[in-house]
Structure 1
């Protein structure tokens, strides 16, 4: 029987495993060095942020986490598009392959949306993969029609 709930600190080792599985699927097989570096960072990150500014919803089959949705909550200065100053970014929407196409991720995203409404976030954003695009559209997400061009500055890794 599947159960849905918010993750807690006891789940950190399983959340790390799910994050690594997600990253391997998104970026290809990780090297041993990448895996070690990411695991180390995630240990600290989850301890410091879980259930503060990072909420994670999970679906379990018995005691095994089979799907996750991360919501990173950010606070910034308010403006007409962000009246509450609070926004959310959906990350790591991931379901183990044998559990896909059962509506599990959709249920977790709905839980996340409800949390965001209850806590007065101005919006939730995400970067949709081709596989997830139709799910997000069905749940009410729309393409961002900003006149601004997304950009980033990357620091070289030496």
Structure 2
């Protein structure tokens, strides 16, 4: 097995891994959702891969079996992120047959090293209860904030 950073030749497999992750996370996807997401991801990876989205993969016999995405955002600096650069870890996904082998942890370590070299102020993520112990072992801690996280959904018709 080989751990490495993804490149443009991996886009098809990255899309399949993202769809597998989403299907598991959302307890399935409709055909319409799958088709719409697949089209968006093809465009998205073309624009963002290795620019502000870095993907770390584990490959077994030329098949990607695990992924970790690091999405970098640049914002106006403040005392919480002096460089103005922050990262979000997402799409931590390993095919079921390859789980419990330490692959995801190794890919996250790669992402952390890359984030340090890119001078990010911090990396955040949203963890399931099941995965929170892995993230704690890697140095992540719950985010204590005086701010309430809120979201506004925009309906697109």
TM-score, normalised by the number of residues in structure 2: 0.98
Structure 2 residue ranges without an equivalent (≥5): none
Distance in 1, Cα, partners of 2:80 & 2:156: 35
Corresponding residue number in structure 1 for 2:45: 46
Q: Is 1:112 aligned to 2:111, yes or no?
A: yes
Residues 109-130 of structure 1, C-alpha deviations (whole Å, 9 max, x = no match): 0000000111110000000012
Count of equivalent residues = 157
Distance in 2, Cα, partners of 1:98 & 1:66: 9
Distance in 2, Cα, partners of 1:157 & 1:29: 22
Task: Report the secondary structure of 2:77's partner residue.
Answer: coil
Residues 120-148 of structure 1, C-alpha deviations (whole Å, 9 max, x = no match): 10000000012211000000000000110
Distance in 1, Cα, partners of 2:156 & 2:30: 16
User: Could you tell me how far 1:22 is from its partner in structure 2?
Assistant: 0.1
User: Could you tell me how far 1:28 is from its partner in structure 2?
Assistant: 1.3
Runs ≥4 residues deviating over 3 A: none
TM-score, normalised by the number of residues in structure 1: 0.98
Distance in 2, Cα, partners of 1:131 & 1:100: 13
For residues 66-81 of structure 1, what are the structure 2 equivalents within 5 Å? 66-81=65-80
Provide the alpha-carbon RMSD of the alignment.
0.7
Task: Report the secondary structure of 2:105's partner residue.
Answer: helix
For residues 1-158 of structure 1, what are the structure 2 equivalents within 5 Å? 2-158=1-157
Distance in 1, Cα, partners of 2:66 & 2:130: 15
Structure 1 residue ranges without an equivalent (≥5): none
User: Could you tell me how far 1:156 is from its partner in structure 2?
Assistant: 2.2
Q: Which stretch shows the higher mean deviation, 84-93 or 148-157?
A: 148-157
Task: Report the secondary structure of 1:70's partner residue.
Answer: strand
Task: Report the secondary structure of 1:73's partner residue.
Answer: strand
Distance in 1, Cα, partners of 2:52 & 2:130: 27
Task: Report the secondary structure of 2:24's partner residue.
Answer: helix
